A = this chain, B = another copy of it.
């Protein structure tokens, strides 16, 4: 056994646990998402999982932070390509939600996150933290911006609809939602 990696970097283990936890969430859903199942999928033991995440909620926080970071990066990258500054991030928020191909795995993970946030208030707060971060990043997106709020609500509503299968929204309809962002409509900043 190589001396260099007799002992792994703890951060690697932590990352692996989160990755595998997301896999479990994707494949087994909320009811199958247990610490045992997560540990079984990793190369380490259940004890190691509880060493890095002292409670199940802590693990879910880690997962939410991971997803929140990814989502935020995607939104900011999207916003960076938007020449119009006003309400830039809100538009990107909707674009990211509408455009992103929602795979069955994403749906499964989303449902787990949804359930977790519904059960544990602390997790909902964590999630809100990521949303606020994107909001705060956009100086032209004050709290009072009604039309920006509207875009965010549409994005959230669409996400929930996809997770629960509430409305079947065709690709054309998704495109139509994006047309809200064209000049002549609110939030574009051209008419306000």
From known contacts A114-B114, A131-B166, infer whether A153 and B161 are also in contact, taking CB-CB under 8 Å: yes
A177 to chain B, nearest CB (A): 7
Question: A191 vs B96: C-alpha distance in the bound complex, in angstroms?
Answer: 29
Interface of A is mostly: helix
On chain B, the residues within 8 Å of A167 by CB distance are 131, 149, 152-153
- Interface positions, chain A 111-126, Cβ under 8 Å from B, are 111-112, 114-115, 117-120, 124-125
- Interface positions, chain A 125-164, Cβ under 8 Å from B, are 125, 127-128, 131, 143-144, 146, 149-150, 152-158, 160-161, 163-164
The total of chain A residues at the interface (CB under 8 A) is: 41
* Contact (Cβ within 8 A) B166 A157: no
A76 at the interface (CB under 8 A from B): no
Residue positions of A touching B, CB distance < 8 A = 29-31, 111-112, 114-115, 117-120, 124-125, 127-128, 131, 143-144, 146, 149-150, 152-158, 160-161, 163-169, 173, 176-177, 180
